[in-house]
Amino acid sequence: MFWPEVWRFGGMTEPLGEIQRLQREMNRLFSGVFQPFSRNFPPVNVWVGEEDAIITAEIPGMDPGKMDISVVGDTLTLSGAREMEVLKEGESYHRQERSHGRFTRTMQLPFKVDADKVEARYDKGALRITLPRAEEDKPQKVAIKSA
Amino acid sequence: MEHEGKKVQKKEAQTPIEAERTRNQKVYAPIVDIYEKKEAVVVIADMPGVDEKSVDITLDKNVLTITGTVEPASYKGHSIVHAEYDVGDYERAFTISDEVDRDRIEASVKNGVVRLTLPKAERVKAKKIAVKTG
C-alpha cells in the first residue's frame, strides 16, 4: 500500500493509528444504536430499557396527521413535512430562522420491535415513541439442571 | 504595580448587570420567524415542550421578552444512549419600536409554537396622501 504521508513522517504512524483505533471504537460503540443520519432534523434522543426503547423528538408546529412513523424489524422511520407560512402581498420577513419542508429520519434500534405495540404521542411539539422489544427477541433464560 | 500577583477578591460587576437565574437549568434561545404585515408584526417562536401555562410574555418599556419553562423528562429504568438535543428553559428578548398597540397584543401556543401578533398603533399605519392637481 502506498502511504506517502505516513512513511515520510514515520513518527506520526503511532498517534495516527491511535486516533483511527479510537474512531473505530466510537463507531462500534454507537453502531448498535443508530446509523449515520442523512439529515439532522428533527433532533432525537434515544432511551433504552430492558423491555422497550423510547425515542423522543422535538418537532414543534406539526400536524400529527402529517407525520409518518413506520417500523420494520429493528428500523424506525420518521418522516413528515412542516408547512411554510405563506406571506401575502406586502408582507415581508424580518427574520426567518425556522426551517420548513420535508424531513425523513431512519434509526436502527439495538433490538427487534413489536410493530403492533408501538405507541406514539405528540404533545406540546414533542414526539415520544415507545417501541416495545419483540417477544422472540428477548433474551432467553436457560435453566441449569443439577444431576 | 504593587497589586500585581495578588489574588483578586472581588469581581467587578458587568454593566449592565446580567441577571443570573435561580433555577439551575440550561436556557435556550428559541428560533423565531418574524414578519411584518400591513397592520401588525407577527412573531412565531419554536418552543417545544411549552404550553399556555408555562410560557410567559412580557413587554417592559420597549423590550418584549418571551420565556418558557420546560421540565426535562426522564424515563425510569431507561438510560439515554443517544442524545441530539437537551431540554431546557427558553428565553429571548426583542426590542420593538414604540409603534405597537400594547393593549391589543395577542399570543397563542399550539403544538409547542408560540405565536404573537403585535398590532401597529393607529397613528403609524400608512396613510395614503392624495396628490392634488392644479
What integer best gives the mean pLDDT of chain B? 84
Angle value at C-alpha A29, between A28 and A30, nearest 5 degrees: 95
CA–CA distance, A102 with A81 (Å, rounded to integer): 4
Q: State the greatest distance between any 2 C-alpha atoms of chain B, in Å, as a whole number.
A: 85
Name every residue in A having a CB less than 8 A away from some CB of B.
30, 33-34, 40, 43-51, 53-54, 56, 58-62, 85, 87-88, 90-98, 110, 122, 124-126
- Examine the predicted complex and report whether its ipTM is higher than 0.90: no
In the block, cell 473505530 appears at A24
Query: Position of cell 425556522?
Result: A98
Torsion of CA A65, A43, A33, A113, to 10 degrees: -10
Of A44, A45, A124, the CB nearest to B111: A124
So what's the pLDDT on residue B14? Answer: 65
CB A124 within 8 Å of CB B111? yes
pTM of the model: 0.70
- Residue-wise pLDDT for B71-114, tens only, equals 888 888 889 888 888 888 999 999 887 788 888 899 999 999 99
Q: Could you read off the pLDDT of B42-83 as tens digits, one per residue?
A: 999 999 999 999 999 998 888 899 999 998 888 888 898 888
A33 vs A51: CA distance, rounded Å: 15
**Cβ neighbours of A83 in B, within 8 Å:** none
- B-chain residues within 8 Å CB-CB of A105? none
**pLDDT tens profile A51-107:** 889 999 999 998 888 899 999 988 999 998 888 788 888 888 888 888 888 888 888
